[in-house]
Structure 1
Amino acid sequence: MKKLIYPVLGLALMFSVQSCMDNYKAKYLNEKTLTDDAGISFIKNGLEGGMTEIAASKIALKNSQNPQVISLAQMMITDHSKANNVLDSIKDDKMLTEKDTISGEHKELLDSLQTKTGAAFDKAYVAMMIDGHKEAIDLFKDASDNKNQTIQDFARQALPTIEKHLEMAKDLNASLK
């Protein structure tokens, strides 16, 4: 019986150490995906922001009569669709399986846009584009220092376009007043 206790204790010790290592790996290496938590957050927030701006821009095509707003909306749809396609491929490459959704806060903004028309719509839409692009610039600047080279490269490449969108929205906003 005494000879059996040592191997059993050894196995128990081995399993407890292994379970601690699994927690360590899950916390620091995220075995289910090929990126860190910052990368996951960037991809998720980038996709959500892009989807929200595409949805808002589609509303703009229906609710605005201003040619400048319509032109901005068409550019947003084109550019954000391309960016979301790249982010989707990065998401797949990094083995992320979360479903892309628009948050409740963004849905409320979209719902409020649906009810507006004319100049009130134009001002609300352009203000939304300004706020969204300011947030996106912060998000992409943070991601440009990500540990994952693919995420870093995409963030750095996309940042000038986002900054251009912000400036265009600000210029349009000034002309609406």
Structure 2
Amino acid sequence: MKKLIYPVLGLAIALSVQSCMDNNKAKYLNEKTLADDGGVALIKNGIEGGMTEIAASKIALKNSQNSKVISLAQQMITDHTQADKTLDSIEFDKMLTEKDTISGEHKEMLDSLRTKTGAAFDRAYISMMIHDHKEAIDLFTDASDNKNQTIQDFARATLPTIKDHLKMAKDIDASLK
């Protein structure tokens, strides 16, 4: 009987240690997320990026007089609203519960945009669109090979739209100079 106690005790300790090492805990819950780190990065950064793009584009509708910039802003609002709805659904499905917010860096960019008008606004807005969409392409390209099929499918389906957004922003940028 004594010989059996040590292996059982060892197994219990090993299981306890293993359960403490789980890195995929959902924030505020003791449940596992259903996404790996790459998937969480896509979901969280994608939602934040979308929220930022929508906010910046709403400012563009007010502060720009350039028809190309206004057209791009309307496209950003439409496309990012749809993508954010899908990401919100994936976020819920993957049990991620951390509140979605806009980062301090993006808030500063938005505050700066609010103070600009005319050509200065257009250059700043388009510069932001180019920068953010380049980062988004990297993020979505990485997620295109994610182990989770839902995340992988979303990344692959969305990547062409992001590339189109970047091309539109670059074309407008060339016309502003």
TM-score of the superposed pair, with normalisation by structure 1: 0.91
Q: CA deviation at 1:12?
A: 4.3
Q: Contact conserved, 1:133 with 1:162, CA < 8 A, in 2?
A: yes
Are the structure 2 counterparts of residues 17 and 152 from structure 1 closer, same or farther at C-alpha, using a change threshold of 3 Å?
Answer: same
The alignment yields a C-alpha RMSD, in angstroms, of: 1.9
CA distance in 2, matches of 1:58, 1:109: 14
Matched, 1:23 2:41: no
Partner of 2:60: 60
Q: CA deviation at 1:57?
A: 0.3
Q: Contact conserved, 2:24 with 2:33, CA < 8 A, in 1?
A: no
Partner of 2:10: 13
Partner of 1:46: 46
Partner of 1:131: 131
Matched, 1:105 2:142: no
CA distance in 2, matches of 1:68, 1:48: 25
TM-score of the superposed pair, with normalisation by structure 2: 0.91
The structure number with the bigger radius of gyration is 1
Partner of 2:78: 78
The residue type paired with residue 140 of structure 2 is F
Q: Contact conserved, 1:29 with 1:36, CA < 8 A, in 2?
A: no
User: Residue by residue, what CA displacement relative to the aligned partner does 1:105-143 show, whole Å, maximum 9, x if unpaired?
Assistant: 110111110110110000000010000110000000000
Superposition pairs of residues 93-172 of structure 1, within 5 angstroms: 93-172=93-172
Higher percent of residues as helix: 1
Ranges in structure 1 where 5+ consecutive residues have no aligned partner: none
What stretches of structure 1 move > 4 A for 4+ residues in a row?
5-12, 28-31
CA distance in 2, matches of 1:23, 1:147: 23
CA distance in 2, matches of 1:18, 1:75: 52
User: Residue by residue, what CA displacement relative to the aligned partner does 1:115-172 show, whole Å, maximum 9, x if unpaired?
Assistant: 1011000000001000011000000000000000000001000011110110000000
Partner of 2:32: 32
Q: Contact conserved, 2:136 with 2:162, CA < 8 A, in 1?
A: yes
Equivalent pairs counted in the alignment come to 173
CA distance in 2, matches of 1:172, 1:72: 9
User: Residue by residue, what CA displacement relative to the aligned partner does 1:21-77 show, whole Å, maximum 9, x if unpaired?
Assistant: 2134x1379852111111111100111111110000000011111111111000000
